[in-house]
Amino acid sequence: QDCGVARRSYIVATLLLQCSWWVCLLLDMCVGVGQARTFNETPIHPRRCIQILTKILYMIGQGEAIGTTEATEAFFAMTKLFQSKDIMLRRMVYLTIKEMSSLADDVIIVTSSLTKDMTGKEDLYRASAIRALCTITDSSMLQSLERYFKQAIVDKDSSVASAALTSALHLMKPGVDLVKRWVNEAQQAVSSDSVMVQYHALGLLYHIKKKDRLALSKLIDKHSRSSLRSPYAYCMLIRIAARLVEEEDTGADSNLYDFLEGCLRHKSEMVIYEAARALVNLKNVSARDLAPAISVLQLFLSSPKPTLRFAAVRTLNKVAMTHPLSVTTCNLDLENLITDANRSIATLAITTLLKTGSEGSVDRLMKQISSFMSEISDGFKIVVVEAIKSLCLKYPRKHNVMMTYLSTMLRDEGGFDYKKAIVDTLVTIIEEHADAKEAGLSQLCEFIEDCEHTLLAKRILHLLGKEGPRTPAPARYIRFIYNRVILERPPVRAAAVSALARFGAATDALVPSVVVLLSRCMMDEDDEVRDRATFYKTILEQRQKSLTSQFILNTLNVSVVGLERALLQYVQEPSDVPFDIKTVPLATTTTHDVSRAPGDVGTAGAAGGKPGAVAASRQDVYAEQLSAIPEFAHLGPLFKSSVKPTELTESETEYGVNCVKHTFGKHIVFQFDCTNTLNDQILEHVFVHMESSDGFDVQVTVPCPTLKYNEPGTTYTCIALPDDPTQVTGTFSCTLKFIVKDCDPNTGEPDTDEGYEDEYVLEDVEIAVADHMQRVVKSNFAASWEELGNDHQIEEVFALTQIKTIDAAVKQILQFMGMQPCERSDKVPENKLSHTLLLSGVYRGGHDVLVRAQLVSDQGVQMKLTVRSTDPDVSQVIASAVG
């Protein structure tokens, strides 16, 4: 017993001494670089030098700024330490050389010393010397050091060989062509007895051959037959094979699929799991093809090793999202994991069962998971919430149970991401199930009474302002909103003022009460809150539907980045003409953005970006690129860019061409992104020749000067739209024309300066009505419909005999017209024989367009189309486009 006490006392004393040493070290950190002169003392004091090097490394690791002069002086002084034979000091020198190689000048002075250690007889120095030498080597030095690296790769010492192989991977950046010549040595290293050397050698071989599919296929075929000893190398081989299968996009029909399936019978559990994970992640595979991998994962569920159980259940959880029926065979094993001591495994098991189980098992599973929700981390709580979300979409009748459970989770402790996931799920339920709206809004109202997250409070207030006025008793929500004006921070108060204004704009009976509340808000201490209250109060007092619709219910839909650019240009170039908001590009909108507030960056900012930062959209990037081309400077602001590029060639052909359409006021610019897949050719003066018989005039072509192997290039063609405003659609035949120069496949240098002209026929490009239309959200369609009026209204009746269901008709109409569905009218209830689709958008030139399509299922689909617009020609174009 006395010995035990003495031992514990000794350990405590040692720890105290070490802590005190580190405290002193940190206090003396500022003079670490200045103490480098100690390295010049004779004899060398290893312990003192190690402390100084530790200080320098700590300063670099903490991001302390070290001047180039100081770093160079310390680096040169450190070279004297190569005279010491102390092993620990020499290793510290190698580490410091690696860290200071980018800070000091003339670091190549230690090349000879490192080369000597690299080729010496002391194995403890050689591996570290190779890694240090790699950091200071550039392309000019690599040629002279090549033979040393080649020898190290095939060295008998596994640490030396691994260091040389990993250094070769880093050296591929400055000297890729030189490293490719080491393929024979790397191939020899794959046969090493060391598992890590095999792994690193296979990794180097992959990076050398990754652009050659045939070479990779031979690599897999060779080493799959030779039975690699290293399980790590086998895992890498599996990943290489899986990547090739994905690129082929053939799924189980690929020749490599048999190799992946054969790995399921490997003796290493690591390799078996890697093969199973690769198989379940493949695209274009059926449930039958997944069966072997699912069986292996099912066996892992009953493994005594927690890591295997966790890996298996986590993978099955992902598979259940796409192939839930395939995972149902594992339900019994998953049930046994619910009581697992590891709560992470139990959580994943339950969420997987929620995705694969029957509707009757939902209540039981929810009770089981609620018993230990407080014991798991927020990350796994989010997994549970996502499972509940998918469950609500799968079993609509269970949304009441789910919402009760979610409301309880909202009141529990948790971080921002966890609360955001719950709010997102509640919003989805509210949007998908009309009968759940009031209960969901009530739960969110209770949550914001004690919500510490500003971004979530703003989003909920926007949702209340959007959905609350449509409920049978909208006045019940005003109290919760006004409480935020009294109790919350300025951003939340401003959002609450906007929500109050929407209640007044949508419900005439509430206008007097809302005006009184806004009058009180006009005394707020924050400028933004006062300005919003004054603005909204003035509009509501006018009692004009057009004003409330334009400025409150349907806000301005412009690109923030585009607005900033247009205002800056207007200020820098003074003009007597007033600033026109129609010159600002519209905000690009997708169907999934409807539930988010315009300009609300709550979810985006929380995801890891800076809160409040506005990221440039894809269209903003295109606008900036096109404005930099002199030939397009006179075209004006960019109206729209196509969302998805159109492929004009097959993926296996020698030239790849994709087309992106950019619509301007009176022109359309076609952007052709080209790729040359032939390594023995260089293409010059590349452009696309376009012809049309529909009255479109090709005005400008901007060729791509040079198109090298596997390097993308871009060429543009600008066409002028016809003078007839109703002629907006057409088809163009396209031919890729270029000058070919033969070149050396290895160096890419052309054989001669002269080339020959050639061409390649592409697929036709079409201009559709959707290319002239930009999606715009109208949160209150009825108000916007009345605001446009019937001055330019057109009604047509169509018989869509080729379309069998209303749901299919809705999808085709959305794709053809390119407009934004309003009030979730794009979702057609099941077994419904009639439906009304509401669409909104802005036509090229800034003309607002609204469409109401009444669909009836009767021997196909009958459609009554009503179009309203601010321009009669636009109404005619939209109405006649369907016919």
pLDDT digits (tens, 9 = 90+) for 663-715: 998 899 999 999 988 888 899 999 999 988 777 888 999 999 999 888 889 99
pLDDT at 614: 47
Integer Cα distance of 445 and 477 in angstroms: 8
pLDDT tens digits, one per residue of 423-466: 988 888 888 777 788 888 888 888 888 888 889 999 999 999 88
Distances (CA, A) of 304 to 308, 337, 340, 437: 8, 12, 11, 46
pLDDT at 702: 93
- Please say whether the dihedral angle defined by the alpha carbons of residues 577, 583, 584 and 586, taken in this order, is positive or negative: positive
Integer Cα distance of 249 and 687 in angstroms: 30
Of 644, 642, 651, 655, whose CA–CA distance to 736 is shortest?
655
Integer Cα distance of 312 and 299 in angstroms: 9
Integer Cα distance of 206 and 180 in angstroms: 11
Of 199, 117, 119, whose CA–CA distance to 158 is shortest?
199
Q: Give 97: exposed, middle or buried? Use CB within 10 Å, 0-12, 13-18, 19+.
A: buried
Number of other CB atoms surrounding residue 594 within 10 Å: 19
pLDDT at 179: 84
What parts of the chain have a pLDDT lower than 50? Answer: 1-6, 10, 16-17, 21-31, 590-614
Number of other CB atoms surrounding residue 412 within 10 Å: 12
Q: At what angle do helices 478-487 and 454-467 cross, to 10 degrees?
A: 150
pLDDT at 701: 93
pLDDT at 705: 92
pLDDT at 601: 30
Integer Cα distance of 439 and 596 in angstroms: 20
Integer Cα distance of 147 and 24 in angstroms: 46
pLDDT at 544: 84
